[in-house]
């Protein structure tokens, strides 16, 4: 089985690739080859039991998608995107990558012909939803994105469903919760603080909290995100039907609950490294974001999270990213 990963150098992409290399298989099939693409060169794995090609370049340039699918990968993970903050600041770039690039990929698959019909796992976002919401957003709630990023993802979902319905591919779109705790350096996502306020204090550093403690949001660990991707790649799409885009399970928590969990898991001293500096710009953005979901369909299709409580989210970060240790 040949697997192509677009956006393989991103945070979720790297974790997915690590997991696939470790497993050597996807579902019941052995992996025979992987192709890793990103705008910056993905890391060439030190040792892999099969050939791994790495490709650096913009997938939204004419002709690139055709090359990526020329060898007819069986499964394509499409994680490549301009993040929300950047897509809002740079209108053209956001639409070029997040809409046109995705459409180019789908069209390259469609036009490959000869019965080529790969499983395409696309990472959508809860940014397809925009306030006002019900307290818990159900599976049949409409899309009213309040940012261009969410608009682009919502459009991609519609394309994925139509291309799948017409038999050009076999797509599954998964709306990831905000990933928490996001490892590494802060990026341009407006949601960065949800992770910063946990990750930085655990590393002995200060972090800024730009919103109030009653801000509620929807979270899942990187470990859960990888689990969702693997399940989306292997589940029987006949059980999904024409409604191909699914809100993934997650954990709804307020910032206050996040901080309380940090205190329980790591202690008061760690939590004291959070500095409260309200930022009206961020407050305004976050006010338009989903707080909670009731993702019945994804649960009934077998998608599950690795964590049951916010304490688990912090413990998983300490296990997976910090070698079991934090700066007390």
Tokens (6 digits) for 322: 């910090």
Q: Is 280 in the site for its own copies (CB under 8 A)?
A: no
Please report which helix (H) or strand (E) contains residue 37, including its range. strand 33-38
- CA proximity to 135, closest of 249, 252, 298: 252
DSSP secondary structure, 207-239, as one string: EEE-S-TT-EEEEE-HHHHHHHHHHHHHS-GGG
According to the binding rule CB under 8 A, does residue 117 interact with its own copies? no
Residue of the chain from 155, 232, 235, 285 that contacts its own copies (CB under 8 A) = 155
Sign of CA dihedral 224, 322, 35, 86: positive
Tell me whether strands 29-30 and 25-26 are parallel, antiparallel or unpaired.
Answer: antiparallel
Smallest separation, CB 92 to its own copies (Å): 10
Contact letters (x/-) for its own copies, 119-148, by CB under 8 A? -----------x--------xxxxxxxx-x
Separation of alpha carbons 174 and 248, rounded Å: 6
- Asked if 115 touches its own copies (CB under 8 A), the answer is no
Residue (of 252, 290, 325) closest to 142 by Cα position: 290
Of 155-163, 202-210, 253-261, 306-314, which part binds its own copies (CB under 8 A)?
155-163
Tell me the torsion sign for CA atoms 244, 88, 36, 163: positive
| Residue 103 or 188 having the CB closest to its own copies | 103
Strands 2-6 and 33-38: parallel
User: Is the peptide bond preceding residue 153 cis, with omega within 30 degrees of 0?
Assistant: no
Q: Quick one: which segment of 44-52, 73-81, 161-169, 218-226 binds its own copies (CB under 8 A)? A: 161-169
Distance CA 320, CA 313 (A): 11
d(CA 83, CA 301): 28
**Residue (105 or 262) nearer to its own copies, CB:** 105
Which region, judged by CB under 8 A, interacts with its own copies, from 17-25, 63-71, 154-162, 308-316?
Answer: 154-162
Question: Residues 58 to 97: which contact its own copies by CB under 8 A?
Answer: 91
* Closest to its own copies by CB, 242 or 323: 242
Active site includes 163?
Answer: no
Q: Is 165 in the site for its own copies (CB under 8 A)?
A: yes
Q: Which among 58-66, 149-157, 175-183, 303-311 is the span making contact with its own copies, rule CB under 8 A?
A: 149-157
In angstroms, give the least distance from the CB of 88 to its own copies.
9
87 or 271: CB nearest its own copies = 87
Q: Under the criterion CB under 8 A, does residue 237 sit at the interface with its own copies?
A: no
- 97, two tokens: 């990558």
Rounded to a whole number of angstroms, the minimum distance from the CB of residue 290 to its own copies is 14
If the CB atoms of residues 139 and 213 are measured against its own copies, the closer one turns out to be 139
Peptide bond into 132 cis (omega under 30): yes
Residue 155 CB, shortest distance to its own copies, in Å, is: 5
Measured CA to CA, the distance from residue 230 to residue 228 in angstroms comes to 6
Candidate residues 166, 238, 281, 308; the one interacting with its own copies per rule CB under 8 A: 166
First to last CA, the chain: 45
Q: Mapping DSSP to helix (H, G, I), strand (E, B) and coil, where does residue 323 land?
A: coil
Provide, rounded to whole angstroms, the least separation between the CB of residue 62 and its own copies: 15
Of 95, 116, 149, 163, the active-site residue reads 149
Q: Which residues are tagged catalytic?
A: 149
For binding to its own copies (CB under 8 A), which residues are involved? 91, 130, 139-146, 148, 151, 154-155, 158-159, 161-162, 165-166, 242-243
């Amino acid at each position: 089985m040949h697997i192509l990963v677009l956006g393989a150098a991103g945070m979720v992409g790297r974790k997915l690739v690590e997991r696939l290399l470790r497993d050597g298989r996807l579902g019941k099939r052995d992996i025979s080859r992987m192709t890793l693409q990103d705008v910056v060169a993905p890391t060439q794995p030190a040792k892999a039991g099969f050939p791994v090609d790495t490709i650096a370049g913009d997938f939204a340039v004419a002709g690139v998608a055709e090359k990526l699918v020329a060898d007819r990968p069986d499964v394509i993970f499409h994680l490549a995107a301009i993040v929300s903050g950047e897509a809002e600041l740079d209108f053209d770039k956001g639409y070029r990558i997040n809409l046109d690039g995705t459409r180019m990929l789908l069209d390259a698959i469609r036009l490959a012909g000869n019965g080529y019909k790969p499983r395409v796992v696309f990472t959508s976002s809860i940014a397809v939803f925009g306030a006002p919401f019900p307290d818990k957003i159900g599976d049949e709630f409409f899309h009213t994105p309040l940012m261009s990023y969410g608009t682009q993802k919502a459009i991609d979902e519609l394309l994925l469903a139509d291309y799948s319905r017409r038999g050009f591919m076999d797509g599954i779109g998964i709306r990831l919760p905000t990933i928490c705790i996001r490892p590494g350096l802060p990026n341009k996502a407006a949601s960065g603080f949800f992770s910063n306020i946990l990750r930085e204090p655990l590393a002995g550093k200060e972090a800024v909290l730009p919103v109030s403690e009653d801000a509620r949001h929807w979270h899942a660990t990187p470990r859960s995100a990888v689990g969702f991707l693997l399940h989306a790649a292997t589940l029987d799409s006949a059980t999904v039907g024409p409604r191909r885009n699914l809100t993934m399970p997650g954990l709804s928590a307020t910032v206050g609950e996040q901080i309380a969990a940090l205190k329980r898991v790591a202690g008061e001293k760690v939590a004291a490294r959070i500095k409260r500096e309200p930022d009206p710009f961020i407050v305004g953005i976050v006010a338009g974001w989903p707080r909670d979901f009731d993702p019945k369909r994804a649960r009934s299709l077998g998608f599950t999270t690795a964590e049951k409580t916010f304490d688990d989210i912090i413990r998983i970060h300490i296990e997976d990213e910090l070698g079991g240790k934090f700066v007390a």
